[in-house]
Amino acid sequence: MKTNFGIRYNQFKALLGRERYALIVAALGLLGSINILFIGIHATTLYLHLAVLNRSFLARAYIMGAIAIASTLTLVFGSYLILRGRAGSGGAFNLTGGTITLMLCYYFTSAFPLLRQLGLIAYLLPAPALFSGFLALFMLRSMLEYF
């Protein structure tokens, strides 16, 4: 009887550990969605201000807004899936959103120096989303090995 209680207690501790892990990974994904949302707002408003000078910036503003909204929704949906216990698909969504954020940060620091004033911090903005994706994918692998 004592052995059965010990097994259940260890299973309960493992379940609580996985729930905490999933909550941390989902919070990182939501933090990444906030980062991309602010990058999108900043870039879109700057493009809208530049549209007065050249009309081509108006199309860029719409494209940037659409990319930021799509990436934000991808990260929020990935975090939701992680919280619902589907770490593999949620991690893939968050990894995709983090990759899009990384590409936008690279573009806005090198090609169009919009975020260059942030320096190294501009490259750290996509880190929460990327970590969320990687950790969720590793969480799935560790869950499969545990059971």
Structural tokens at position 101: 């954020």
Tokens 């991690």 locate to 91
More confident residue, 5 or 95: 95
User: For residue 71, what pLDDT is reported?
Assistant: 93
CB 88 within 8 A of CB 137: yes
Q: Is the pLDDT of residue 5 over 90?
A: no
User: For residue 128, what pLDDT is reported?
Assistant: 92
The C-alpha atoms of residue 11 and residue 41 are separated, in whole angstroms, by: 45
Q: How much is the pTM?
A: 0.81
pLDDT digits (tens, 9 = 90+) for 33-63: 999 999 889 889 988 998 899 888 899 889 9
User: For residue 106, what pLDDT is reported?
Assistant: 85
Total residue length of the chain: 147
**What would the mean pLDDT of 11-15 be, rounded to a whole number?**
58
Structural tokens at position 117: 């004033």
Q: Is the pLDDT of residue 2 over 70?
A: no
Average pLDDT of the chain, as a whole number: 82
User: For residue 137, what pLDDT is reported?
Assistant: 86
**What would the mean pLDDT of 13-41 be, rounded to a whole number?**
83
